[in-house]
Structure formats: C-alpha cells, structure tokens
A = this chain, B = another copy of it.
Amino acid sequence: MEKMKLTLLYSDLKSDIDIIEKELETALNSSSHLINDASLHLLQAGGKRIRPVFVLMSAKFGQYNIDQIKNIAVPLELIHMASLVHDDVIDDSDLRRGRHTVKAQWNNRVAMYTGDFIFARALEYVTSIDNVKVHQILAKTMVEICNGEVIQIEDKFRNNQNLKDYFRRIKRKTALLIESSCELGAVVGGLDVKNVRRLKRFGYFVGMSYQIVDDILDFTATDKELGKPAGSDLLQGNITLPILLLKDHPTILRFVEKASKGSVSESDRMEMLKVVRNSDAIKKAIALSNQYLRKALKEVDALPNHPMKKKLRDVALFIGKRKF
C-alpha cells in the first residue's frame, strides 16, 4: 500500500525507475548460485527505491540523461542494500519487511560475503563515471556509513547517551546516503555549486526526518505493518528517539536491562510498547521530525523553478508523514 502511493508520486519517472529496477537485477547476477539466491531474495523483498528516485529527481534540474544517471542511481541503491545485509548481522535481525533476512535464511557468513559482493558491484558501476568528485563523495559516504556501523554497536544498550548521540547515529545510518543521492544526482546533472548544495542539504534533512519517522513507527505500527515485532529496535539494544525522550521511565529502564541480557518476555514487550505509545515522547519525536521536514522544504523553495520542485516536496512530505 505504501509502495503503491509512492509509485503514484513517482509517475513521471516510472519508465526510468523500471530501467533502474532491471539494472539492479543485472547487477546482482553473479556466477555463484548461493549469491544469486540471496540477491534474488533481497530484490523480491523490494523497497521504496527512495535513493535512486532522489538521484533522478535531483538530476532533472540539470542535464538529465538516464543512461548516464543510472550509473550513479544503481550503485547508491546497491550500497543501501549491502549495508542492510550487514546491519542485520550486527543487529542479529531475523526479519525485515516480513521476510527472513539473509543472515536468518542462510547465516552470518553468507550475509557477510553477499554484502561484500553487492558493495563491490556498486563500486564497479561507479567506475564508469569519469568525474573524480563523484568518487570522492561516494567514498566519504561509505566511510561514514561504516563508521556508523561501529557507532551503532558501541551505543547499543548504552544508558548514558543523549540526543546528540542519536542524531549522530541516524545521520550515518540514513541521512548521509540520501544526502549523497541528491548531491550526486545534482553533480552528475551538471548543476551549479549553489544548487548542488541546496539539494544536498535537502537530502540530509529529508533523511533525518525519514529515520526519525522510522524509529517512531517501530513503536507505533503493528507487527503486521512492520513485518517484524514492534519494539524490535529496543529489543536489539538500539536506543532511538522516543526512548531518549522518556528514558528515565522505570519500565523502560527495566526493559533495556532485561533486553541486554536477552531475557525479555512477550508481556514485557507489550508493557514497554504501552508505555511508549501512551507517553508524549511520540508527539515530541514527531515534532522533531517535522522540524527537519520544514528545513528540507525550505531548501526546495530556494531551488530554481522547475516542475520537479513540487514532486520533491510531495515525496519529502510523503516519507516524513507516513503512517507506516
């Protein structure tokens, strides 16, 4: 359902997104049956393809050539996919979007080299681009994403963390890759420095808002909507915004303590969800997400007139306001 609505928003780009979807299939083809199976599994799980869409939309403001721009849109989605596969190892996650993760369906080892393979394929695509700036932006982003992996591990179950720690984490986990998608679309589209910077900042703000909403939904959506048990983030030790906004609550403290020992019962989970859902932390978190969203929309306003401006706004509002 969510995907359907987004597809409507993307309608102008439909045929180009189909091209990218086909390229992703090709990119994930390897000589190994095992990797093909794992990759097919990932492709079938789908996804909103938000990163490629932002690449295309940003490039539309300049010289748009799908045969060129796909070489940056495809690797950005591949990097995203690879990082999810490795993240599931780090978080020990068995489910994602209602499907078994690669590490659950096979094991950590298969997840490791499937992720490596996809990362490498991403790099391969980028080699066709003859602009050193593109390589530099992408490499820096990859470094920060890996740093993010590390920070996420360090911060697990850590009680003495603050909002700054959280924002630092979601920046690396989500915002940077969306920022780079917009920036690289703009760079490859040949936009001037000012507008590249605007789109880059737009991507960053949208990315922050996007991840905050994701972290809220992990508590407020149903297990079915999430495709995994609600509250999974906290179960895995990831202290997200709603928790930081009420972290001194005794039920939450007790829950984190139990989760760190892996001794959470189903009724513990229900109790924790009830506390979070009935608190004002959710409302406060939504307000913070909206702040980022407003900043994103301000960047759009500053862009030159173009039919894409409305689309950028619509997509930003959609992913910043989504209900699951």
Do residues B31 and A151 form an inter-chain contact, with CB atoms below 8 A? yes
* A80 smallest CB distance to B (angstroms): 15
Chain B residues within 8 Å of A121, by CB: 143
Q: A86-B113, A132-B132, A153-B113 are in contact. Are A120 and B145 (CB under 8 A)?
A: yes
| A92 smallest CB distance to B (angstroms) | 8
A192 contacts B by Cβ under 8 Å? no
Residues of B within 8 A of A30 (CB): 147, 150
Q: Flag if B139 contacts A35 (CB, 8 Å).
A: no
Q: How far is the CA of A124 from the CA of B137 in the complex (A)?
A: 10
A135 to B143, CA, bound (A): 15
Q: How far is the CA of A89 from the CA of B112 in the complex (A)?
A: 9
Interface string of A120-149 (1 = CB under 8 A from B): 110110110011100110011011011101
Q: How far is the CA of A32 from the CA of B151 in the complex (A)?
A: 7
Q: Is the CB of A127 within 8 A of B140?
A: yes
**What residues of B have a CB within 8 angstroms of the CB of A115 in the complex?**
112
Cβ of A318 < 8 Å from any Cβ of B? no
B contact residues around A132 at 8 Å (CB): 130-132, 135
Q: Smallest distance from the beta carbon of A121 to chain B beta carbons, Å?
A: 7
A43 within 8 A of B: no
- A-side interface residues, number (CB < 8 Å): 41
- Residues from chain B with a CB closer than 8 A to the CB of A90 are 109, 112-113
Query: Considering only CB atoms, which chain B residue lies closest to A32 in the complex?
Result: B150
Across the interface, do B113 and A149 meet the contact criterion of CB distance under 8 Å? yes
Chain B residue at smallest Cβ distance from A126: B139
Q: Is A117 close to B, CB under 8 A?
A: yes
The answer to whether A149 and B31 have CB atoms under 8 Å apart is: no
Which listed residue (B31, B123, B140, B147) contacts A150, Cβ 8 A? B31
Q: What's the nearest-Cβ distance from chain B to residue A242, in Å?
A: 25
**A116: interface (CB < 8 Å):** yes
Instruction: Tell me whether A302 is interfacial, beta carbon within 8 Å.
Output: no
Contact between A113 and B31 (Cβ–Cβ < 8 Å)?
no
- Could you list some 20 contacts between A and B, CB below 8 A? A31-B147, A31-B151, A32-B150, A32-B153, A32-B154, A33-B154, A34-B154, A86-B116, A89-B112, A113-B149, A116-B146, A117-B146, A117-B150, A119-B146, A120-B142, A121-B143, A123-B139, A124-B143, A132-B135, A135-B135
Q: Told that A120-B143, A132-B135 touch, could you supply 18 new A-B pairs with CB distance under 8 A?
A: A30-B150, A31-B150, A32-B150, A32-B153, A32-B154, A86-B112, A86-B116, A89-B109, A90-B113, A108-B112, A111-B112, A117-B150, A119-B146, A120-B142, A123-B139, A124-B139, A127-B140, A132-B132
